[in-house]
Structure formats: C-alpha cells, structure tokens
Amino acid sequence: MDHIWLASYPWSGNYLVRIILWNCFHLKSASIYNDDCGGNKQLEDLVGHVEPIEKNKYIFSKGQTPIFKTHDFHPDNRKTIYIIRDGRACLSSLFEFYNREKSLKDIMEGETRFGKWCDHVNNWDPLHRKNTLLLRYEDLLTNLQLNLINISDFLKVKVIKNTIPSRNELAEQADGIAVRK
C-alpha cells in the first residue's frame, strides 16, 4: 500500500499536524508505532488516529492516501510532510518526556532511540528531498492559514475547516491529556 510519511524528530509537532489534518482536511492518520495514542480513545478521536485492524492492516476512508507518522530515519522516497521544531525546544520537551531521568546532555548527544536531532534533520534533508513539504512547528502556531494552503496544495485536497480547537479545548477533550507546545 502506498502512503505518505508524516515525519519529525520526537516532540516536534507531529500530533499538532495530525490534529490539523483531521480537523481541517478530514484526513485520518496512523502511526508506525504500536499503541501510539496509549489506548486513549479521546486522543485517537482528536487526531483522527487509525489503529490497525490486524498486523499492518489499516482501513482509511475511500480515496484517501494513507498517512503514517514516523520518528525513524527515512526508509524510502515516498511523499513526506516533515515537521521541524527549534532543536532546543524539542530536546527540552524530550527531556521532560523522559521525566528528567535521562540527562539533557545524553539527549543532546543522541543517546535515545531516535539519535541526535541534527542527524534526524540531515537524514530526512527536507529542504532538498523531493516530494517533501517542510512545516515549521513555530509557524503552525503563528500562521495556520498559510500552512493550510501549503498542506492543501501539497496533498491536493481542499480545506474543509480553517480552525482547530484551542489548546485548552484539546486538553479538555483529551480528558486531561495536555497537547504539548
């Protein structure tokens, strides 16, 4: 099955883009990681998450090209949306994700399953990689409308809604799960 990658280093805005894809384009997405939403049905509904019905078998809406979230280094040249976030903020968020049990120095040196932030960006090479839409996390927060146009053009789908729920609304809908900035 052909699909589109939704790639980023961890804590770079992947869930935010999935929320945008679902709310603004009515496009669902899946993840290469098992139980990506931790079994939280409210979170799955917020991001339009598709769980496999059996190993590696997903059902997407008729006519939709499947979109798969990944934090891994790129395995092929499929069409990709790559999200980049300021490395300092990204690493700080990853430090918090690890409950400060892993040192910030180790995270910066790539002592995680995802390696170094800079190696991840260089591996995907979103500025030069063909068929890649580069989205900056910070721009998603400050100029959603321009990003909706860019996503629409890239995926060749119409925008059906120009807004997403506020951060507080998302947290309330997810039953207390905070959507990280």
Whole-number pLDDT of residue 169: 79
Residues forming beta bridges with residue 49, ordered by sequence position:
29
Query: What parts of the chain have a pLDDT lower than 50?
Result: 176-181
Whole-number pLDDT of residue 40: 85
Amino acid occupying residue 51: E
pLDDT in tens, 113-154: 889 999 999 999 999 999 999 999 999 999 999 999 999 999
Q: Please choose, from the candidates 9, 3, 6, the residue with its C-alpha nearest in 3D space to the C-alpha of residue 17.
A: 6
Q: Please choose, from the candidates 62, 37, 65, 61, the residue with its C-alpha nearest in 3D space to the C-alpha of residue 51.
A: 37
What is the Rg, in whole angstroms, of the alpha carbon atoms belonging to the chain? 16
Whole-number pLDDT of residue 174: 61
All residues at 6 or more sequence positions from 104 whose CB lies less than 8 Å from its CB, including other chains: 91, 92, 95
Whole-number pLDDT of residue 178: 46
**pTM, full prediction:** 0.90
CA distance 49 to 123: 26
Whole-number pLDDT of residue 180: 43
Q: Edge-to-edge strand order for the sheet containing 67-70?
A: 30-31, 67-70, 4-8, 80-84, 132-136
Quick one: CA torsion of 31, 43, 152, 52, rounded to 10 degrees?
A: 30
Whole-number pLDDT of residue 175: 55
Residues 179, 42: contact at Cβ < 8 Å? no
Residues 83, 9: contact at Cβ < 8 Å? no
